[in-house]
Structures are given as C-alpha cells and as structure tokens.
Structure 1
Amino acid sequence: MSTTPSSAPASAANDVMSEPTPVQWADIVQQLGAEIAGPLSTALEQIQTLASTGQIDRRGLRLLRRSVDDARTAGMLGQQLARLASGRLRLNRERQHLTQMLRSVLAQRSRETQSRGVQVRQSLQPVEIWADGSLLFALLNALMDWALSLTHSSVDLRLDLTPWPVKARLSCRFAHRALELMDDAAHGTADAGEPELDSLAWRLLEQTAITLGVLPLREQEAGITLLTLEFNQLVSEEAPQEPDSTHARLEAEAERLSGNSRPLAGCQLLIVCGNRELRAEAQAAVRHMGMLVDCVSDVAEAEQFCREGLPHALLFDAALSGDAMLHLVAGIQHEVPEFTFVEMFDGEHRTQLSTATHDGMARISRRHLPDALPSLLMFELGRRP
C-alpha cells in the first residue's frame, strides 16, 4: 500500500491549479490528431512519390524519416497525456533530491543536446522536495523536450529558493525565435500569437506540472521565453530520512504498477536481441506499461541508436555479452552512472536487482519476463536520482 511519510505535506496533488475541463481536454485531443495527421500526410506523399517513380532522393528520405519520427513522437505524447487524464494515477510522495534528478536528466540527454548544437547552462542550488519520483522525472524530461524543440540558441536553467514564502523555483530561459527575426519581433511584424509554443509538448509539460502540484508560469517577450516552475513542498532540514528497504521499495512499485494506467508511459526502452522469439516475449511483457519500445538485433545497431539519443533503459540478451557490449555499457555509464541496464538470459537465472549485483546491472531469465520484468523496470527506473 502506498503511504505518505509522516513528515511529508498532506496537501493534495492538484492543490495549485484546477484540472482541465472536458472542453480543454477536447482541444488537446484535437491538437493531438493534427500533430499526428500532419507528419503522416507528408510521409504518405513521399511514399506515393516513391511508388510512382520507383526512387527517392536523399532529401526525400530524410523528410520521410523525420515525418514518421514526428508522428511517432506525437503519439507518445498522446499516450502520456492519456495517462494523466485517466484519473487512475496514485502519487507516491517521497523525498526527492530535485537537483540531482535534474542533473541526471541533463546527463542522459547530453548526446541529444550536443547533436543539436544546443548549450545547456546550469546554475543549480541543492534542493530537496516531496514529490512522486516517476512523475517528477517525467516533468523534467517534458521540460527538456519542449525547450530543445524550440530553442534557437541555448537553454539556461536556474534552480534556487525564494526568500519568503520559501519555495523552490526552477526557471528555463531560451530564445524561441532565430536571432535574425528578433528585430521583426521588436517592430511588431512577427506572429504575436507564437503558436509553436503551445505545442503538444507544452500541453504535456503543463498537465504533468499540474498533476504534480507544481505551478507553471510562462512569459514571452521579444523572442525570449521564460518558464518558471514553483515547487512549494520542500523538505525541511529536520525531516527524517526514510528507510531504504529494497523489500519496501519493491512493494511500493508493485502497488503503483497495479493502480496506475500505463505507469511508464513515455519512457523509452531499447531491446538489444538477435533472437526474434525472445525479443517478442520481452516486448509483450512491457506492452501494457505504455513504454516506447525500440528493438535492434546487435550491439553495432545499439551503438548507432544510442549515439542519436539515449533511451531510459536498455534490455539486452546475455548471448550478446562481449567486448563490444562492455564498451557500449562503459560509455553510457560514463555519461549516466545510474543508467538502467537489464541483462536477460535464455536459460535459468534468478532475478536480480542492480542493487544486488557487483556491476550495478539487473538480471532476469526468459521465463520470468512476463511476471517480473515490469516490476523490475519500475524499481530500476524509480531508484534513479
């Protein structure tokens, strides 16, 4: 049973802002349809061109891939929004180190920011709050998704405390308009509505914040966007540390899994496995969790995938263990020390959490995938700072 620590605030999750009305949810659903249909229509045009001519140039291929990726991303965002709208979320408020979690998210996304040529500047004070860990992690990732999709220069992140009343304040500042268009904005010739800021990514960010009890304040002026997230449930210095019991954590994650609708919606899992049947069994085990699942057949393909952007977890076949896999694991752990790795065995092997292994890697056997893999992933992804 999920419990709230005695020292945690007893206020409700949505005590900052009211939940969206049915009309607002209808608008979000309409926007979701548009953001999926638009890229798919573009992709269909490219496919029709390919069918009629029998060939496609490099530019057309890039456009096709981008269109499919955009539609897929929109579908994933819709999946996460559906989870928030389900009314079945059961928040498990625990002591969270907001600063460490934000740094972990930034480390995991460092390859993505580098590939985009975006510099992320940080000024972060140490802050601890009471919050649901998985939802807080989703909020920070939603913030980065939104900012990285819009910025034309850099992203400035600042985390500090307000003097009175004391709140944690996370601000994100970036230029949402190219520098050459700044003068147009100053003279009022640019689009004043800034519709790109109200994308589906923003809707997810906004609704996740509201569900978590965080106040999102957004301002735009002369091509610059400033978003401030205010966290008012801070951990006081005298608050006792909660006991770290693996058994208690597993029970909590199992309880959350049973009560939540698609509990890991939006998290990305990469399965590295050349055995088609084993790969299909792993996919089936996590299908109900709402994860975005990608599959590759060997380590080389996994390296290429991770080079473009790290997933949240990597599940790989033990048969692929070797120097290449060790090199991939070491490279990822160098960037994200708490990254989630799960090794699966086709033969007999007892289920092990990363906290019980010498190399910090979780392990599971093929026959335990259906009943144990979901809880294992919930625990591993939930223990990250």
Structure 2
Amino acid sequence: MGLHSFSPGTARLPLPHDPSACDDGDARWCPLLAQVGAQIAGPLSAAIERVQALSTSGRIDALSLQRLGEELAQARRVGMASQQIARYASRRVRQSHERVDLTAVLQAALAARRPQLLGRGLPLRTVLRQVAVIVDPALLTSLLDALLDWLAAHAGSAVEVRLDTKAWPVHGRLACRFRPRAAAPGDSAADEAEDIDWQLLAHAAAVMGVALERRQEAGLDSVTLEFPRTVNEQMQGLAVLELDDPHPSTRSRPLAGCQVLVLSGRRELRSQVRDAVRELGLVLDFVGSVEEAAAFCGRGLPHALVYESLLRGERLDRLRHRLESESPDMAFIEIAEEGWTFEVSGLVPGSVGRVGRQAIASALPSALTFELTRSL
C-alpha cells in the first residue's frame, strides 16, 4: 500500500517562504521545474513534428489536426498550472472565507465535467451528502477543478465520488476512488500520478488549509480531501463551526456558536463586519440580496440578521416581519450608511439596533452581544 498525505498548510514540495526550505535554497524546487519543463516539452515536440510534416507535404488530415490542437492545449494547460502553483506558493493569496454549500458546488463541477469523463470511458458514481464549509468560494472552485483535471488524466476506470462528514472531528470529507490507467512506457504509475496536476492540487489544498491524502491499495487509487472548517447542523439544531480546539471556552465568548446572517451585496462591508466580530466565535453567513436571505432563512433561522440600510424597503420589511413572527427572539441590526454611534433596539415590537458604518469596528461586537444575550 502506498500512502501520500498532505496536512493543512503543507505540500509535497516546500513553499518558497517556508523556513524549513531555506537551508536547501532554490534547489528544492528543481524537481518541480524539471517536471514542468518535461510536461511542456513533450506535447510541444510532438506538435512541432506535425507542423514540420505539414510544411513538407502541404496537407494535414483531420486526425492530425485534432492531435495538433490537443498537444498545444496540453502545453498551454501545463504552463497555466505552473503559474497557479507559483501564485499559491507566494503566500500572497487573499482569501474571503464564507459559508459555501460544498455539495452544490461539487455537483455543478461534476455535471460540467461529466461529458468529458464519459468521452474518456470514465463514468461517475456519486454518493453526495449535504455538507457546508467555510472557505474562499473562488479557491474552492479552483481546488475542485484541479482534482477533476487530475482524475481525468489518471483514472482508468469508473470514478467513485463520495462526499460525507466525519463523526469526529466534524470535518467534511470528499473521497474519490478509481483504478489507475496503465503507466506510459518508461514511467512508473507513481511518477505519472504526481505530475503537474497533482502538484497544483496539493498547493491549492495547502493554501486553503485542506488536508489531502492519496492511498494506493489493491490496485486502486483513492484521494481524500478533508475540510477542517465544516458547518455542523446536527448539534441541537444550531449551525456551529468546528474549531481547532474541540472544547473551546465559552466563558470569554458567550456568543460562540451563534449564527448571524449578514445581508450585504458589498464585499468591503462584508469584510468590515467579518473583521469586527472575528473574536466572538460567531458563525457568519453572507447573502447579497433579500431574496437570498429569505431562501436561507427558509432552510433554518439564524440568531441574528445584520443588514445594510441601503437594502431597507418593502421586501426586507416583509421578511423581517415574517422572521419576527417565527422567532420573536431573533436580533436585528441595521448598518447605517453614515455615523459613529450604536442605538440599541427599544422595547417596542419591530424596533431594531443600529450601528453607523464608521462604528462597525468599535460598536458592532457590543451591539451583537447586547442584542443576542438578552434573549439567550
């Protein structure tokens, strides 16, 4: 049995700014550079031979033209993958962590790739449970694309895809299993499997803090991605985020585990809210429209709704009245476009708390603590 593991924040090749890599210098990157060069040179050499044959004969048949396009596309793909690896390794990737429906994103990715995989004789067999994770949405898409690129290149049989959640720790787990295709002459299956597609997958996982593991046993390959920041909705009906510490103290964080829905279409305002309440231990979910907020609340009610005043109107009022009737203790905080103050909600039904945009950093944590703790 072969086992290749990548714990969060690590990859098979060291990241350039990893202190452990400094002793060996840039020589540690030589294998990857050689790999990139070989995977670009191979298809380009074949393409050059076809072009030379074309210049000699003046003709090219349909099959050769198709192969020429495939060879050029392959070289281009390796070049783009190497650029992505360099970007991930630079440690300058800015991430916006949000709650993402991993099941829906994976289903969309598999649906888009299904024709390609079927064309290569690789049917998909899927068992997908409902899983939500806290990740950067764009990086999640890149991670799944890298995984499917690698599977398409190396699977030699039907691919089993399973998405579920570990019992403890409560981590989302995406596992793929297949029988690998035969290695090319002169190459071992292991060498081929750890090509540029694998390196891209490993670096993307490392940047996101997702554990990556590959096992080889009984003629089968299995790859597992484990998401440590997974939303667990089976603990007393609440949506709680698994923390690195399985027993966090709630004495200093009375709101830990409370779910707050933030309604704002502006990324800068979302970032302000996220940064302001980072230490409260809340589970934050973000939506960009009243319709999305209504759909979210239809699946389960949060403890509080924070919304920007620009979205206030008849539709938001209807949603708020509905939520108040369903959950009288739900807290509502409006982010005013201007101001440095915080106004608590009154005793009159329908009143809401208000925080000025300029006071988000200083006042929003106190506002949420006040509004939530008086109903807990």
TM-score tier, shorter chain, comes to: 0.5 to 0.7
Of residues 61, 82, 85 in structure 2, which corresponds to 1:78? 82
Between the aligned partners of 1:25 and 1:149, the Cα distance in structure 2 is 23
Q: Which residue of 1 aligns with 2:154?
A: 150
Change (3 A) 1:108 1:244: farther
Question: 1:159–1:241: structure 2 CA closer, same or farther, 3 Å change rule?
Answer: farther
Q: What is the alpha-carbon distance in structure 1 between the residues aligned to residue 208 and residue 193 of structure 2?
A: 21
Aligned-partner SS, 2:144:
helix
Do residues 247 (structure 1) and 266 (structure 2) align? yes
Does structure 1 residue 209 correspond to structure 2 residue 205?
yes
Structure 1 position 113 matched with structure 2 position 117: yes
Question: What's 2:131 paired with?
Answer: 127
The structure, 1 or 2, with the larger RCO (C-alpha pairs under 8 Å, 6+ apart) is 1
**Counterpart AA for 2:221:** T
Structure 1: tracts of 5 or more residues without a match: 1-13, 182-189, 253-385
Code of the aligned partner of 1:134? A
Distance 1:248 1:16, change over 3 A: closer
Q: 1 CA distance for matches of 2:263 and 2:124?
A: 33
Q: Distance in 1 between matches of 2:116 and 2:145?
A: 12
**RMSD, aligned CA:** 2.6
Gaps of 5+ in 2: 1-6, 16-20, 240-258, 272-376
Q: Which amino acid aligns with 1:162?
A: K
Larger Rg: 2
* CA positional deviation for 1:248: 3.4
Shift, 1:219, TM fit: 1.0
1:61 to 50, 60, 65: 65
Structure 2 SS opposite 1:63: helix
d(CA) in 2 for partners of 1:170, 1:113: 18
Percent identical among aligned pairs is 39
Does residue 169 (structure 1) correspond to residue 173 (structure 2)? The answer is yes
- Give the TM-score normalised by structure 1: 0.55
User: What is the CA deviation profile of residues 287-325 of structure 1, one whole-angstrom value per residue up to 9, with x for unaligned ones?
Assistant: xxxxxxxxxxxxxxxxxxxxxxxxxxxxxxxxxxxxxxx
Shift of 1:145: 0.7
The code of the aligned residue for 2:262 comes to P
Distance in structure 2 (CA, Å) of the matches to 1:157 and 1:114: 15
Q: Distance in 1 between matches of 2:113 and 2:66?
A: 23
Query: Structure 1 144/241 Cα, relative in aligned 2: closer, same or farther at 3 Å?
Result: farther
* Matching of residues 206-285 of structure 1 within 5 Å: 206-237=202-233, 238-239=238-239, 240-248=259-267
- Partner Cα distance (2:120, 2:135) in 1: 31
**Using a 3 Å threshold, how does the CA distance of structure 1 residues 192 and 55 change in structure 2: closer, same or farther?**
closer
Partners of 1:224 and 1:97 in 2: CA distance: 29
Point out the more displaced range, 28-37 or 191-200: 191-200
Q: How far is 1:139 from its partner?
A: 0.6
Alpha carbons 2:154, 2:193 under 8 Å: kept: yes
**Superposed displacement of residue 44, structure 1:** 0.7
What secondary structure sits across from 1:159 in the alignment? strand
How many pairs are equivalent? 230
1:120–1:92 CA distance, 2 compared to 1 (3 A) = same
Whether contact under 8 Å (2:102, 2:132) holds in the other structure is yes
Instruction: Please tell me the residue identity of whatever aligns with 2:50.
Output: Q
TM-score if structure 2 supplies the norm length? 0.56
CA distance in 1, matches of 2:49, 2:269: 49
Post-superposition shift, 1:246? 1.2
Q: Secondary structure at the match of 1:87?
A: coil
Paired residue type of 1:246? G
Q: Higher helix fraction: Structure 1 or Structure 2?
A: 1
Query: Shift of residue 111 of structure 1?
Result: 2.8
User: Helix, strand or coil: the match of 1:169?
Assistant: strand
After superposition, the C-alpha distances for 1:228-261 in whole angstroms (9 at most, x for unaligned) are 1111111243342432311237976xxxxxxxxx
- In structure 2, the CA distance between the partners of 1:79 and 1:244, relative to structure 1 (3 Å rule), is farther
Distance 1:141 1:241 in 2: 31
CA separation of 1:218 and 1:119: change in aligned 2, threshold 3 A = same
Q: 2:73, 2:198 → 1: CA distance?
A: 18
- C-alpha distance in 2 between matches for 1:15 and 1:209: 7
